[in-house]
Amino acid sequence: MHKTSASPLALVYAALIVYASLYPFLDWRDQGLMPWSFLAGPWPRYWTGFDVGVNVIGYMPLGGLVALGVLRARRAHAVLFAGAVGAALSLAMESLQSYLPARVASREDFLLNALGAASGAIAMLLLNRWGVVRRWSLVRSRWFVEHARGGIVLLATWPLALMFPAPVPFGLGQILVRLEQALANLLQDTPFLNWLPAQSTDLKPLVPAAEMVCVALGLLIPCLLGFCVIRSRRRRLALVAAIIWTGVTATALSAALSWGPNHAWAWLGLPSQAGIVLAMATASVLVIAPWRASAALLLVALGIYLSLLNQAPESPYFSQTLQAWEQGRFIRFHGLAQWLGWLWPYAALGYVLSQLGRSDSIH
C-alpha cells in the first residue's frame, strides 16, 4: 500500500500557519501577562464575517489532512485527533501572539480555529464514507508510481505558490537578492561584511527572449516533475494540459487579487504567450522520455530557470503590490503563498535528487 500524501501536506500547512500567525516576527516582548490569559478576556463587541470566515476556513484543510493521515489506522478517532491537533496548534499560536505587539491574542480566534479543524476532519470523514477517498486511492495507484508521495505534494502545492505575485509570470524561487540583504544585515558591523560580494543593485530587466524562456521553464518544470512519477504517456499528456490550465488560471487570479479584476490578464503579453506555447509543445514531445531522462532534464531546467530568474530585478509595481498585501487583509494569505513561491523550486530540486539517489528505482 502506498504512503499517503496527507501527512507531509499537513506538516507543510501547519508550518505555513505558524508563519502566518506570527508574522512579522518583530519586537518580541513580555507584556506582563500569562500567555493564556486571553482565554478569560471579555467577548468582543464587533465581529466581521471576514474574520470569522478566515479563522474557520484557514484551519479546515489542516483538520482534513490530519484526519486523512490517521483515517486508516484509527478510523473512529480521526475527527477527535484532528480537532485536538488543530486546537493545540491554535492555542500555541494565540499564546505566542501575546508576546508580539503587532498581533492580538484572541479566544474567539482560538475557538474558530478549533471549529475549523474539526469541520475539516468531519468533512474528510464524510468523504471517506462516501467512497471518495477510496476512489482517489484507486486513481493514484493507476496514475502514479509507488514512491510518488513527494512528487504529488509538490504538484499539489505548485498552484498555491503561484498565488504570490511574481515579477515574471510563473517565476518561483527568486531569493538571491533577499539572501544577500539578509546576510548583509546579519554581518553588519563585523569584518565579515567585506567578504560578501557586492549586492546586485543594478540588475537589468530581462529581455523579451529571456522572459519567454523563464515563462516556458516555469511551466515545463512541473510537467517534468509529473513525468518522474507518472507512467502512462496518455496520462502525461493529460497532466500537461492540467498544468498549463492551472498555471494560467492561478496567475490570472493572483493578478486580479494584486492589481484588481480589470488587470487579471495584464501579465499575458507576447513573451508570456510565446513561453506558454513553447512549454506546451516541448512538454508534449517529452512525454515519451523515461523517468530518469525526465529527472535529468528537470535538473537542467531548474538550473537555467533559477539562474535567469535571480538576475531579474523586482519591478516597482511588484514592490507596491507586496506592500499592499502586507498592510491589507491578505496578510495571512501573503505569508502562506510567499514562502511557497520562494521555496518550491528548491524543494523540487531536493526531491528529484533524492529519487535519483535511491538504491531502488521508483519505477
Q: What is the pLDDT of residues 215-270, one digit of tens each?
A: 999 999 999 999 998 888 899 999 999 999 999 999 998 888 777 788 788 888 99
Instruction: Give the integer Cα–Cα distance in Å for 323 and 319.
Output: 6
Select from 267, 270, 220 the least CA-distant residue to 240.
Answer: 220
Give the chain's radius of gyration (CA, Å). Answer: 22
Instruction: Give the integer Cα–Cα distance in Å for 69 and 51.
Output: 28
More confident residue, 62 or 44: 62
- Count Cβ atoms below 10 Å from residue 8 Cβ, excluding itself: 18
Helices 149-161 and 233-259: crossing angle in degrees, nearest 10, is 30
- Tell me whether residue 354 is exposed, middle or buried, using C-beta atoms within 10 angstroms of its C-beta: 0 to 12, 13 to 18, 19 or more: exposed
Cα dihedral 10→341→147→227 (10° resolution): 140
Cβ atoms of residues 245 and 201 within 8 Å: no
pLDDT at 18 over 80: yes
- Record the cell numbers describing residue 27, joined without a space: 519586537
Q: Model-level pTM?
A: 0.72
Instruction: Give the integer Cα–Cα distance in Å for 165 and 273.
Output: 18
Cell 561584511, residue located: 193
Select from 193, 32, 41 the least CA-distant residue to 101.
Answer: 32
Across the chain, mean pLDDT equals 79
Residue 40 CA to its chain's centroid (Å): 35
Residue 197 confidence class, pLDDT cut points 50, 70, 90: low
